[in-house]
Structures are given as structure tokens and as C-alpha cells.
């Protein structure tokens, strides 16, 4: 419901209070400028005490170690098969040519030659570039973590669908879980499990379960009633209705959940290098820290190819309708692709036996483009160095430092009053309380200054992303073919693990706040561009025709018809942009900035669960508050537009 004039008046009073507190700062007592020590609550100590109780008094450590042993055994199996680690079943490694053939055939079976070329070509690239072991270390964890995440998510999604009470309890937990930064998941796992591949696998499982729960719940809720009635009339039991009617009917949503699980797994496995997870992420981290740009680009290309391949394969599986062959057809005809795959794999094994290069490409035999990339980048950097140096100086001196100082200068009471004003204007008393509670808890945590640095980094990045992203989205939406191309680029960019965005900005700006902002801007611009295009392209054609028939110019149609109608969709992009920015700022902390991300990495190094979770919740509260405000704004716009 839109705020009344009375509500607007209260919002204005709160805004006036915020301005008075800010400009009258020199008159305020210290306790109204920064939270006094007596007001800061020992959340970290409470969390550490709870974890100590779970770990020692309840014996949860025994349970987690037992689960980790199972995961470790499965990792040993996949490690033996994929890259030859000396473990049971001691039959690996599978030759790279066989895995490339398998990927090729999977792509062909799911969507034809183009996907087959992408999938097979990705593994050929990995092998020829001498990155096979690192890639298989990464893939071995994804192969183990994905089934666990899918089964856990499917089971909890079914439980939430069956029990509305459980769903009501689960929803806020999922909201927080999907707002927590990656590092917040790692710290408790390190305490209970330790470091290394099994810790990386377990944190990956935990991180990737929430989207599977949501998609399972969504799919089961969308099953048409007539389908259920048909199942009941056929005499199905409750279990048969679930397993043979509801879940198969919700197949598309569930498989989209599987796609999201796979992509979340890859994103976390790459970042789990911070807790000793070997593979592509660890190698990329080492190369970035050593500023070896050429080799970093090679690894980055591999991660991108792997991400795109896994995304395209899983999406093709989700969108592909089940095929039922003729019962009278011969087995060989019905399973011809399986037979071809088995024959090609057998040929691959034979060739790899006689040609060692097809079994494993040693480092000295591997190709490399690092040298030419380094040489080219040296030339480019030398050419644009005056521009980047001036831009770095200008942004740091005249934009970033003044903005950071301004955010830090504000009294926390002024910020709370301002947020209350915004909340009241958006959604009345409830929204005002949501804003004050979320940021009030951050103030009570004792991390106010670090939080404000994070807010400043996110806010400036989202504004810059919008300045570039909105015009690009409007320009792309003018022509359907152009819109389709830009959307394909956006979809592809969204599959990249966030670590990848650090490579080009470090190349251009080095290690500083400008590089962090640049990485966040690129990462945050993608959803803005994507949802601007989708919003504008989905405006009903009859509204545009009516505007044109009334004599409106193209510019008037854009401003008075298309943009207002597209605004609810565009707000979804703004919401995602803020969330992406929060995650990226935390990840990018290892190349600079003194925000919550830097403290979170310190908590990870010292395995301080309490501190790490307090910092993680602070980031989550920022995201949840933004989500609440944008959602209310979007709902108001939809009601105003009658959609």
C-alpha cells in the first residue's frame, strides 16, 4: 500500500532528524556519534560459546567427522578416477581423451553439435594447456558435492512443501543463508572439519543447498491440480503421487535447481582455495598474488570455459523434454548414442595406451599463451599507463577517499534516522523498523566503521554500474536481435565465478581500492543490463502502439510508457546488483580495502567462528534490508500499474 500523506509527513520528520543529527554533529555527545562500548554486545563471544557447546558438550564433532570421512572417501574415489591419486579403486586416471569424448557425447545428446563442440573443446583445451590435474581436482569436488546438495535440497524442499509450518521457519533461514558471503560459510567448517579438500567439499555442499530447496518448493507448488486428480483416480498412494506424479511434473524447476547447485558448487570450490582446497582456484589465487598476469589469464579462461560448459549442459538437461522411444524399436536403435559413446571410449582407451600424449599431457609438453599475453599486456599497460595512473589518482583523491570519509563522518544515529525515513517512505512503520533493526544490530556488533566502508564501496559501485548499465540496456532493447546478443553475453557473464573479475582490473589498476571498485562495477552491471533489457522488451506492444498513435515520439514513449512499465523488472536487477556488489566487495578484500571483507579473511585465518559469523551477518543484514526496500518499492509500482 502506498504511504499516506501522514506517513509521508513522518518520513519527512525522520529525514529532518537525520539532517539535524548530521549537521549538528559537533553538538552531539560521543555516544550519539559512535556506539559506546557499553552498547556493543559480545555477539562473537556468544556464538563461540554456542559452537564450543556444540563441538564438545553435544559431541557434534564426532558426527561431523564421521560425515567428513564419508566425503573424504568419495573424494578419494573421484580423485583416483580423474587425476590418478593413489586411492581405491586404483584404476585411474582416466585418459583425458576419454573424458573429452564423454563431454562431447553428453553435449551432442543434450543439444546437438554446438554444445558438443563447446563441451568437448573445453576438456581438450584443459588438457593441451597442461592444467588437467588442477581442473580435475576442482571437478572431483563438484562431482561429489553436487549429488549431496541436490538430495539434501530435494528432501528439505519436499518437507517444506508438505509442512507450511516448516516452510515458515525455513524461509528466513534461506533468506539469510543466500545473503551470507562465501567466507562466512568457511569458518565454521574449518573449526569442525579442518582444511583441505574435504573441508572444501563440505562447505560447497552447505553453500549450494538453498537454491535447490527453493526450486523444489516452487516446482511442487506449481503442479496443476488436475494432474494430481488424475493420479488419485489412477489409484496412486501418497508416495506414488509424490514420486511418480508431483516430482516428474516439477521436473523443469527441479533441474533448474540442479543447474544452480552446479554453478554454486563451482563458485565455492574456486573460493575454497582460501581453506586449502587444491585446484584451479588455488592456482589462480597464487598467480594473482604473484601478479603473474599471463598465467592468471590462462587459468581464468579455463575456469570460464568450465563454468560455461557446466551451465550449458545442465540447462540443456533442464529444458530437454523426456523422449519415449517406440516400444517395438530394437534396443540398439533406441540406445544408439550410448553404443557410439561406449565405442568411442573404448577407442580412446586403446589410443591412450599406445600414445601417452592422449593419456596425460605433461607440463613440458603443454601449450602456453602466457608469454604473448604478458608481452601484449606490457605494451597495452605502457600505452594506457598515463590514463590509468591519472584515473587512479583522480578516483582515489577526489572520489573514493572523500566519499569514504563522508560515510565515516556520519553519526550512527543520523544513519539510523535516515534509514528509518527511507523505510517509512517505502513501506510505513514496518519497513522503518526493518531498516533500523538491521543496521541497529550492525551498530551493536561493534563493526560500524568497517560496515560503513563496505556500504560506501557498494553504493558507489552500484551507482557507477547503473550509469553504464542502464543506457546499455536501453540501447540494446531497441532491436530484438541486439537484445538477444547482449542477453546471451549477460547470461554467460553471470556463470563466471566472481574471482575471474579480479584478473583484468588488477592488470589495469594494480592492487588498490580502484581495482576493487572496478571489479565490483563490472560484476554489478550485468544484472542491471539484463533486467533493463527484459523489462523493456516485455512491455505490452499494445501500450507502445497506443502511445505512438497518440503522437508520442520515441523518446516520449521511452520515458512515459516503456520505462515506467519496465520499472518493476528493472528493480529486480537493482536488487541483484546490490547483492552481487556485497559479495564481490567481500571477495575483493584480499587485494585491498579495510572493510568487513578484510576482517572476515582475518577471522578465517584465525578460525574465529564468532567474529566471522558476526561479520557475515552484518553483510547479510545489509543485503536483506536492501531486498526488503526494493521489494516494497517494486510491489507499489506493480499495484500502481495494475499488474
Three-state secondary structure readout of 565-634 = HHHHHHHHHHHHHHHHHHHHHHHHHHHCCCCHHHHHHHHHHCCCHHHHHHHHHHHHHHHHHHHHHHHHHH
pLDDT at residue 309 in the model: 95
**In which band, very low, low, confident or very high, does the pLDDT at 326 lie, cut at 50, 70 and 90?**
low
120-166 confidence digits (pLDDT tens): 999 999 999 999 999 999 999 999 999 999 999 999 999 999 999 99
**In which band, very low, low, confident or very high, does the pLDDT at 566 lie, cut at 50, 70 and 90?**
very high
pLDDT at residue 323 in the model: 66
pLDDT at residue 315 in the model: 92
Angle at 507 between CA 505 and CA 510, to 5 degrees: 75
Q: What are the angstrom distances between the C-alpha of 130 and each of 95, 252, 308, 564?
A: 14, 37, 20, 52
> d(Cα 494, Cα 579) in Å, to the nearest integer?
13
* C-alpha closest to that of 309 among 81, 151, 111: 111
585 and 595 in contact (C-beta within 8 Å)? yes
597-618 confidence digits (pLDDT tens): 989 988 988 889 999 999 999 9
As a 3-state breakdown, the chain gives helix, strand, coil percent values, each rounded to 5, of 85, 0, 15
pLDDT at residue 8 in the model: 81
> d(Cα 32, Cα 36) in Å, to the nearest integer?
8
Looking at the predicted structure, is the pLDDT value of residue 586 above 70? Answer: yes
Q: Which residue is it, cell 547470461?
A: 491
CB atoms within 10 A of CB 355: 11
Beta strands in 166-275 (DSSP E): none
Contacts of 360-363 with CB under 8 Å at 24 or more apart are 360/93, 360/95, 360/96, 360/132, 361/96, 361/127, 361/128, 361/130, 361/132, 362/130, 363/130
> d(Cα 95, Cα 349) in Å, to the nearest integer?
7
pLDDT at residue 643 in the model: 64
DSSP H/E element including 204: helix 197-221
pLDDT at residue 7 in the model: 63
Mean pLDDT (whole number) for 110-128 = 95
Burial of 41 (C-beta count, 10 Å sphere; 0-12/13-18/19+):
middle
489-541 confidence digits (pLDDT tens): 998 888 888 888 888 888 888 777 888 899 999 999 999 999 999 999 999 99
Domain range annotation of the chain: 1-54+415-444
Looking at the predicted structure, is the pLDDT value of residue 1 above 50? Answer: no
Q: What is the DSSP string of 103-167?
A: HHHHHHHHH-HHHHHHHHHHHHHHHHTT-HHHHHHHHHHHHHHHHHHHHHHHHHHHHHHH-HHHH
Looking at the predicted structure, is the pLDDT value of residue 542 above 50? Answer: yes
DSSP H/E element including 638: helix 609-641
280 and 299 in contact (C-beta within 8 Å)? yes
**% of the chain surpassing 70 pLDDT:** 97
Contacts of 172 (CB under 8 A, 6+ apart): none
> d(Cα 277, Cα 270) in Å, to the nearest integer?
8
User: What cell was used for 5?
Assistant: 500523506
> d(Cα 204, Cα 137) in Å, to the nearest integer?
14
pLDDT at residue 182 in the model: 87
> d(Cα 118, Cα 315) in Å, to the nearest integer?
14
**In which band, very low, low, confident or very high, does the pLDDT at 429 lie, cut at 50, 70 and 90?**
very high
259-277 confidence digits (pLDDT tens): 999 999 999 998 898 888 8
pLDDT at residue 5 in the model: 57
264 and 209 in contact (C-beta within 8 Å)? no
pLDDT at residue 487 in the model: 93
> d(Cα 331, Cα 338) in Å, to the nearest integer?
11
Lowest-confidence region among 210-214, 329-333, 403-407, 571-575? 329-333
Summary mean pLDDT of the chain: 90
Q: Give the up-direction half-sphere exposure of residue 469: CA atoms within 13 A in the CB hemisphere.
A: 27
> d(Cα 262, Cα 314) in Å, to the nearest integer?
8
> d(Cα 588, Cα 598) in Å, to the nearest integer?
9
110 and 315 in contact (C-beta within 8 Å)? no
Task: Round the CA-based radius of gyration of the chain to a whole number and report it.
Answer: 27
**In which band, very low, low, confident or very high, does the pLDDT at 422 lie, cut at 50, 70 and 90?**
very high
**% of the chain surpassing 90 pLDDT:** 62
442 and 454 in contact (C-beta within 8 Å)? no
> d(Cα 551, Cα 555) in Å, to the nearest integer?
11
523 and 532 in contact (C-beta within 8 Å)? no
DSSP H/E element including 202: helix 197-221
Backbone dihedral angles phi then psi of residue 398, each to the nearest 5 degrees = -110, -10
Q: What is the DSSP string of 343-376?
A: HHHHHHHHHHHH-GGGT---GGG----HHHHHHH
155 and 296 in contact (C-beta within 8 Å)? no
Using CA atoms of 534, 536, 537, 543 in order, give the dihedral in degrees to the nearest 10: 140
Looking at the predicted structure, is the pLDDT value of residue 63 above 90? Answer: no
Q: Give the up-direction half-sphere exposure of residue 173: CA atoms within 13 A in the CB hemisphere.
A: 13
Amino acid at each position: 500500500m502506498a504511504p499516506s500523506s501522514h506517513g509521508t509527513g513522518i518520513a519527512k520528520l525522520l529525514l529532518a532528524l537525520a539532517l539535524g543529527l548530521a549537521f549538528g554533529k559537533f553538538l552531539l555527545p560521543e555516544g550519539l556519534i559512535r556506539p559506546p562500548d557499553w552498547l556493543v554486545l559480545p555477539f562473537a563471544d556468544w556464538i563461540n560459546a554456542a559452537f564450543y557447546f556444540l563441538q564438545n558438550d553435544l559431541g557434534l564433532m564426532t558426527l561431523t567427522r564421521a560425515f567428513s570421512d564419508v566425503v573424504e572417501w568419495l573424494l578419494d574415489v573421484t580423485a583416483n578416477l580423474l587425476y590418478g591419486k593413489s586411492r581405491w579403486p586404483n584404476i585411474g586416471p582416466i585418459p583425458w581423451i576419454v573424458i573429452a569424448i564423454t563431454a562431447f557425447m553428453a553435449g551432442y545428446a543434450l543439444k546437438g553439435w554446438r554444445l558438443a563442440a563447446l563441451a568437448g573443446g573445453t576438456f581438450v583445451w584443459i588438457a593441451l594447456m597442461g592444467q588437467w590435474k588442477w581442473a580435475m581436482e576442482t571437478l572431483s569436488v563438484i562431482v561429489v558435492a553436487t549429488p549431496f546438495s541436490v538430495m539434501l535440497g530435494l528432501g528439505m524442499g519436499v518437507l517444506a512443501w508438505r509442512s507450511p509450518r516448516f516452510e515458515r521457519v525455513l524461509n528466513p533461514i534461506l533468506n539469510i543463508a543466500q545473503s551470507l558471503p562465501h567466507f562466512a560459510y568457511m569458518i565454521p567448517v574449518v573449526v569442525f572439519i579442518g582444511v583441505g579438500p574435504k573441508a572444501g567439499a563440505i562447505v560447497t555442499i552447505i553453500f549450494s543447498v538453498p537454491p535447490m530447496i527453493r526450486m523444489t518448493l516452487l516446482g511442487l507448488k506449481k503442479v496443476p491440480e488436475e494432474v494430481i486428480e488424475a493420479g488419485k483416480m489412477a489409484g496412486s498412494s501418497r508416495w506414488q503421487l509424490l514420486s511418480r506424479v508431483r516430482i516428474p511434473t516439477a521436473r523443469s524447476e527441479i533441474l533448474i535447481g540442479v543447474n544452480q547447485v552446479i554453478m554454486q558448487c563451482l563458485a565455492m570450490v574456486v573460493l575454497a582455495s582460501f581453506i586449502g582446497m587444491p585446484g584451479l582456484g588455488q592456482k589462480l589465487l597464487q598467480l594473482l598474488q604473484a601478479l603473474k598476469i599471463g598465467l592468471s589469464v590462462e587459468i581464468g579462461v579455463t575456469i570460464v570455459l568450465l563454468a560455461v560448459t557446466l551451465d550449458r549442459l545442465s540447462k540443456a538437461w533442464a529444458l530437454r523434454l523426456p523422449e519415449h522411444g517406440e516400444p517395438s524399436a530394437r534396443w540398439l536403435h533406441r540406445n544408439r548414442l550410448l553404443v557410439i559413446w561406449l565405442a568411442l571410449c573404448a577407442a580412446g582407451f586403446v589410443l591412450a595406451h599406445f600414445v601417452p600424449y592422449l593419456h596425460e599431457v605433461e607440463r613440458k609438453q603443454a601449450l602456453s599463451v602466457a608469454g604473448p599475453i604478458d608481452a601484449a599486456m606490457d605494451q597495452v599497460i605502457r600505452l594506457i599507463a598515463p590514463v590509468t595512473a591519472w584515473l587512479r589518482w583522480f578516483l582515489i583523491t577526489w572520489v573514493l577517499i572523500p566519499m569514504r570519509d563522508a560515510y565515516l563522518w556520519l553519526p550512527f544515529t543520523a544513519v539510523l534516522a535516515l534509514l528509518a525515513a527511507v523505510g517509512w517512505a517505502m513501506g510505513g512503520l514496518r519497513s522503518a523498523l526493518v531498516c533500523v533493526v538491521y543496521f541497529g544490530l550492525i551498530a551493536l556488533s561493534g563493526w560500524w566503521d568497517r560496515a560503513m566502508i563496505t556500504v560506501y564501496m557498494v553504493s558507489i559501485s552500484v551507482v557507477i554500474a547503473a550509469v553504464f548499465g542502464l543506457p546499455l540496456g536501453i540501447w540494446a532493447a531497441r532491436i530484438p536481435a541486439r537484445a538477444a546478443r547482449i542477453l546471451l553475453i549477460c547470461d554467460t557473464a553471470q556463470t563466471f565465478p566472481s574471482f575471474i573479475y579480479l584478473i583484468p582490473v588488477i592488470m589495469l589498476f594494480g592492487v588498490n581500492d580502484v581495482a576493487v571498485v572496478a571489479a565490483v562495477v563490472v560484476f554489478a552491471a550485468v544484472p542491471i543490463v539484463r533486467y533493463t533489457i527484459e523489462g523493456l522488451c516485455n512491455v505490452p506492444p499494445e501500450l507502445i502502439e497506443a502511445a505512438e498513435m497518440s503522437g508520442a515520439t520515441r523518446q516520449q514513449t521511452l520515458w512515459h510508457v516503456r520505462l515506467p512499465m519496465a520499472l518493476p523488472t528493472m528493480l529486480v536487477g537493482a536488487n541483484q546488483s546490490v547483492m552481487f556488489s556485497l559479495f564481490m566487495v567481500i571477495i575483493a578484500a584480499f587485494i585491498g580495502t579495510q572493510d568487513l571483507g578484510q576482517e572476515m579473511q582475518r577471522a578465517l585465518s584465525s578460525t574465529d567462528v564468532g567474529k566471522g559469523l558476526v561479520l557475515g551477518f552484518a553483510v547479510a543484514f545489509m543485503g536483506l534490508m536492501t531486498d526488503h526496500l526494493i521489494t516494497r518499492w517494486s510491489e507499489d509500482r506493480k499495484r500502481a500499474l495494475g499488474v
